[in-house]
Amino acid sequence: MDQMTFDVVVVGGGVTGVAAGVAAARAGAKAVVLEPRPFVGGNATTGLCLHSFLTRDRRQTVFGLAQEMVDRLKTVGAAVGHIPYDGFVSAVTPVDGDWFRILAAEMLAEAGCQVIYGASVVGVERDGDAIDALTVAMKGGLRRVIANSYIDTSGDADIAALAGAPTRKGEEGTGKMQPVSMLMHFHRVDTRLIAKTLGEVAPAMADKPGESEPIPVYFNGTFSAWNDIIAEEKIFPNRDHKVFFNTVWPDRINVNTSAVFGVDGTDPLAMSRAFQDLTRQCVKAGEFLVKHVPGFERGYFAPQVVAGVRESRNILGRYEISKEDVLEGRKFDDTVGQICFPVDIHHPDTGQAYFVDVGGDGAFDVPYRSLLPQGIDNLIVAGRCLSATHFAHGATRNMAPCLVTGQAAGTAAALAARGNAPVAHLDVADLQKRLIADGAFLGETEEPRQRRTA
């Protein structure tokens, strides 16, 4: 079997993996991202917002690579920055999905990080408390990939699970997981009229070059006015169905309202069925919008080609972020960044979303220990599958937090590889200093302040 050797291997080129790969390469590591799809960027390529950079009182807590990406997208008109919103969040960060995909690939190339598309990890070799190698299926057959440090940004904790690390799935007690969804992209629509018709609160408005007045870029609402039609045509399974919209253009909009329930995101057959069901559901919902909802009547649409998984596996790490950590806005000595997005859980049975604000000062720390799986010293996990309870996962799973933990994991893996030591034994103070120097750590420039260990 052919062999490839790197300092750092990142498994999964979604939002988290992009941040990890760029950070590792910028920190001097010979890094590679293994991505099974023919593109990088994951769910951000669908056009979902990069929630959330600002706390409820609009204090920014997310910086680093996440902010750099927003700034670079703004230069090509594909982002509008952090826009105030008086809804379930206090600010939104909409981006154009296609441009995010382009930028993600550019930043990995600029950093010198290799990307191998069409690459799927099918096996893990483990010796004691360390991973020795990955078996990777790619064009031409199987290859053995070896590294000093491994980063699991698969979203489903695939590498941790293959290596035998303990994991959990779904809601405590039931194991139920949040539904999977698929976005629709609409073109040739009147976004101002749609916002007026469907927005529950005033939409987030942003200035756009070439537009004489601000355009709506984010709003959410329900289809309550069409409950009878929805029931008759069996569009959705419940009344008062929620819908979320975002855009950075005056005549295009992303619609997030589909859901398929009872899907295990780690089961390929279940995911394949869900993809088919979501596509049909989006077509039915799209036709309903064009036929019945003002602003859509001239629109044409297409479902996205990515099925969004909100929840599957989480590692059981050396620390598990808890409900109390979120509700109290806890701080930790080994912090690698902060999360200010509210808990966002879509009910496993109905799909209806509910939100709970972060307590304390509006943000909680991500302890480095929550990225470290139990029993494997040279593996670090970031993004949706880090160590958190079902409740806390409602806040940690979103894309700004994923960019935060991805950058931290990539930096940690590079530092560990440079010191020829496993990530589990890394001096966290050294990692924090590097994150500060890179502008990622709470936007601070001084030494890390002491934090209470909860």
Does 265 lie in the same domain as 119? no
Chain Cα centroid distance, residue 335: 19
Contact 88, 220 (CB under 8 A): yes
Does 207 lie in the same domain as 167? no
Does 127 lie in the same domain as 76? yes
In a domain, 388, yes or no: yes
Does 319 lie in the same domain as 297? no
Q: How far is CA 238 from CA 242, 265, 283, 388, in A?
A: 10, 23, 18, 30
Residue 219: in which H helix or E strand, if any? strand 215-222
Distance CA 258, CA 177 (A): 16
In a domain, 344, yes or no: yes
User: Model confidence over 320-342: pLDDT tens digits?
Assistant: 999 999 999 999 999 999 999 99
Distance CA 45, CA 356 (A): 26
The single-letter code of the amino acid at 285 is A
User: Model confidence over 194-221: pLDDT tens digits?
Assistant: 999 998 889 999 999 888 999 999 999 9
Does 113 lie in the same domain as 214? no
Does 276 lie in the same domain as 385? no
Does 394 lie in the same domain as 371? yes
Q: Total domain count for the chain?
A: 2
The DSSP code for 180 is B
Place of tokens 């077509």: 283
Contact 43, 399 (CB under 8 A): yes
pLDDT band at 307 (very low <50, low <70, confident <90, very high): confident
| Domain CATH number, residue 108 | 3.50.50.60
Does 339 lie in the same domain as 298? no
Distance CA 349, CA 333 (A): 38
Does 90 lie in the same domain as 166? yes
Strands 252-256, 184-187: parallel, antiparallel or unpaired by DSSP?
A: antiparallel
The residue from 258, 276, 303 where one domain ends is: 303
In a domain, 164, yes or no: yes
Would you give the end-to-end CA distance of the chain in angstroms? 47
Task: At 67, list the tokens.
Answer: 């902010």
Runs of H (alpha helix) within 259-314: 268-292
Does 199 lie in the same domain as 288? yes
List, as one string, the DSSP characters of 123-173: EEEEETTEEEEEEEEETTEEEEEEEEEEEE-SSS-HHHHHTT--EEESSTT
Chain Cα centroid distance, residue 208: 26
In a domain, 179, yes or no: no
In a domain, 224, yes or no: yes
The residue from 245, 268, 303 where one domain ends is: 303
Domain that holds residue 334: 2-174+311-437
Does 136 lie in the same domain as 47? yes
Burial class (CB in 10 A: 0-12, 13-18, 19+), 196: middle
Burial class (CB in 10 A: 0-12, 13-18, 19+), 228: exposed
pTM beyond cutoff 0.85: yes
In a domain, 50, yes or no: yes
User: Model confidence over 149-182: pLDDT tens digits?
Assistant: 999 999 999 999 999 999 999 998 899 999 999 9
In a domain, 268, yes or no: yes
The predicted model gives 306-323 an average pLDDT of: 95
User: Model confidence over 96-146: pLDDT tens digits?
Assistant: 999 999 999 999 999 999 999 999 999 999 999 999 999 999 999 999 999
In a domain, 237, yes or no: yes
Q: Average pLDDT of the chain? A: 94
The predicted model gives 17-30 an average pLDDT of: 98
Q: Does residue 41 register a pLDDT over 60?
A: yes
* CA count, 13 A, side-chain hemisphere, 58: 10
Taking the CA atoms of residue 227, residue 299, residue 250 and residue 185 in that order, the dihedral angle to the nearest 10 degrees is: 80
Q: Please list, residue by residue across 300-320, b when 16 or more beta carbons sit within 10 angstroms of its beta carbon and e when fewer do.
A: ebebbebbbbbbbbbbbbbbb
Q: Does residue 450 register a pLDDT over 60?
A: no
Q: Does residue 445 register a pLDDT over 50?
A: no
The residue from 270, 303, 336 where one domain ends is: 303
Does 245 lie in the same domain as 320? no
